[in-house]
Amino acid sequence: MSEARKLHVKSYGCQMNAYDSQRMADLLAERGFVETAAAETAELVILNTCHIREKAAEKVYSELGRIRKWKASAEAEGRRMTIVVAGCVAQAEGEEILRRAPLVDIVVGPQNYHHLPALLDRAERGDKPVDTEFAAESKFDAIEPAAGGAIRRRGVTAFVTVQEGCDKFCTFCVVPYTRGAEISRPIEQIIAEVKHLARAGVREVTLIGQNVNAYHGEGPDGRTWTLGRLLQRVAEISGIARIRYTTSHPRDVDDSLLAAHRELPQLMPCLHLPVQSGSDRVLAAMNRRHGRGDYLRVVARMREARPDMAFSSDFIVGFPGETECDFRETLTIVDEIGYAGAFSFKYSPRPGTPAAAMADQVPEPVKNERLARLQAAIDRNQAAFNARCLGTTLDVLLEKPGRRPGQLVGRSPYLQPVQIMLPESRIGDIVPAAVTEIGANSLFGSLAGETSRSDRSASLLAVGS
């Protein structure tokens, strides 16, 4: 048997990068590449990079510093090692990457991954291609899984990209520049992929997009379908027990999405709905196109549709011009919503975005202090949310072996990790777990009577009004 060509893909940043990394590995599998965790032995190393904040972008260059040594020893042994920088840093910096890191052989932007086999051929001929022009054809057409072809087992949960890019242009954000304008995959392509995953044993799909609820894809009837309608269609696929979607924009929550939450038991009561700030002044400067009141109304309508809906958010502290008074409005919105969890970031100026050129940049020590206060408020809300689950029964989708021998870990409807003593044969099952203990990072449960449902949790988990 000839030795397989080894591929190492390292993914940074968002779930879409994780998905794209898998797709690149699928594409290269057709060329005989097999994934390895040991980058130093790989023939092909792909860094799928993130440009969202400065720290994320800098990680790429420090990783390339490490790889330089591996590449040198590979070449000393007469082995080839091809280095690819993909993702949003590739898109934003292009040629500059080759100047800063001459060991890099290929630079490829997120819309062009389907060109990889051709780019590899060029690199083999000694070229150093940079492919960051937004391709005219859709990468979605080119990265379709081969019809009826073998799919590598993915576990019981999977991501599916349904939409990519963003037309919102929040003043702090690079996404509209690195991922380009909004595009939605056609319904039939998405359905084919979800069916494929269901056949491979996947029980839960998360539909992903930078602005997923702005989805407006072509339906089989030739009309434009919304996310709500897509969710209704995905719910018809047998084998798929749970559906999630992320990330949503408050402006794009429409009636069809509310109806989907009202009607579909498969659709999990868990919504990542970034607000970024609680201050109307800051929201306007961010060009979020919604105020605090609009956001609260969207949350209220969601809770009307699904009373046990859990919310999570992203926050930015220290946006240019943010005063102590603005920041306090962010703190109060955290308590008002009662988030089940949230991510918080210090504002990081991104070259080329409007906010980077704004006056009144907030000093670093102020950002640090606000971040600590915000994280404390988020942690307090998260702990309160988890505490309300104690003594309730939650349905848990068992995903993989847990921390201790004999234990499995799965997720509650609200995305909380739940540890439970059960044999590995139960992976992929959804079991009712009585929550007996709340740990720092997960809940602990024991198997409840298998006929019980999680309806007891609904009233306990309703937060807010």
For ligand SF4, the binding residues (CB under 6 A) are 166, 168-170, 173, 175-176, 210-211, 249
CA proximity to 210, closest of 173, 262, 260? 173
Phi and psi torsions of 271, nearest 5°: -130, 120
Q: How far is CA 335 from the centre of its chain?
A: 25
From the list 33, 225, 345, 385, which residue makes contact with ligand 5AD (rule: CB under 6 A)?
345
According to DSSP, the residues that pair with 198 across neighbouring strands are: none
Judged by phi (left if over 0) then psi (alpha if -120 to 50, else beta), residue 307 lies in alpha
Q: Is 208 in the site for ligand 5AD (CB under 6 A)?
A: no
CB-wise, 33 or 319, nearer to ligand SF4?
319
In this structure, what are the phi and psi dihedrals at residue 159, rounded to the nearest 5 degrees? -95, 150
Residue 249 interacts with which of ligand SF4, ligand 5AD, none, CB < 5 to 8 Å by class: ligand SF4
Smallest distance from ligand SF4 to CB 279, Å: 16
Residue 385 — φ and ψ, nearest 5°? Answer: -60, -50
Residues 243 to 302 in contact with ligand 5AD, rule: CB under 6 A: 274, 276
* Residue 52 binds which entry of ligand SF4, ligand 5AD, none, CB below 5-8 Å type-dependent: ligand 5AD
What amino acid occupies position 227? Answer: L
CB of 286 to ligand SF4, least distance (A): 8
For the chain, report the end-to-end CA distance as a whole number of angstroms: 65
CA angle 9, 185, 14 (to 5 degrees): 35
Out of 23, 51, 53, 196, the residue judged to bind ligand 5AD by CB under 6 A = 53
In the list ligand 5AD, ligand SF4, none, the entry touching 166 (Cβ below 5 to 8 angstroms by class) is ligand SF4
Task: Please give the Cα distance from 83 to 98 (Å, whole number).
Answer: 11
The strand ranges marked E within 347-385 are: none
The CA distance from 206 to 306, in Å, is 18
Site for ligand 5AD in 159-198 (CB under 6 A): 172-173
The DSSP bridge partners found for residue 244 are: 206
> How far lies 23's CA from each of 2, 18, 304, in Å?
24, 9, 38
Which partner in ligand SF4, ligand 5AD, none is near 348 (CB below 5 to 8 A by kind)? ligand 5AD
Closest separation in Å from C-beta 267 to ligand SF4: 22
207 makes contact with ligand 5AD (CB under 6 A): no
Which residue has tokens 């292009």?
A: 94
88 versus 231: smaller Cβ distance to ligand SF4:
88
Which is nearer to ligand 5AD, 201 or 354 (by Cβ)? 354
18 three-state secondary structure:
helix
Cβ-based burial of 178 (10 A; exposed 0-12, middle 13-18, buried ≥19) = buried
Query: Interacting stretch for ligand 5AD, rule CB under 6 A, among 66-74, 106-114, 285-293, 340-348?
Result: 340-348
**Total of residues contacting ligand 5AD (CB under 6 A):** 12
Dihedral sign of CA atoms 388, 391, 395, 399 in order: positive
318 binds ligand 5AD (CB under 6 A): no
> Quick one: 159 or 345, whose CB is closer to ligand 5AD?
345
Query: Minimum distance between the CB of residue 278 and ligand SF4, rounded to whole angstroms?
Result: 16
- 52, 81, 241, 394: which one binds ligand 5AD (CB under 6 A): 52
Q: Nearer Cβ to ligand 5AD, position 92 or 427? A: 92
Footprint on this chain of ligand 5AD (rule: CB under 6 A): 52-53, 172-173, 274, 276, 314, 316, 345, 347-348, 350
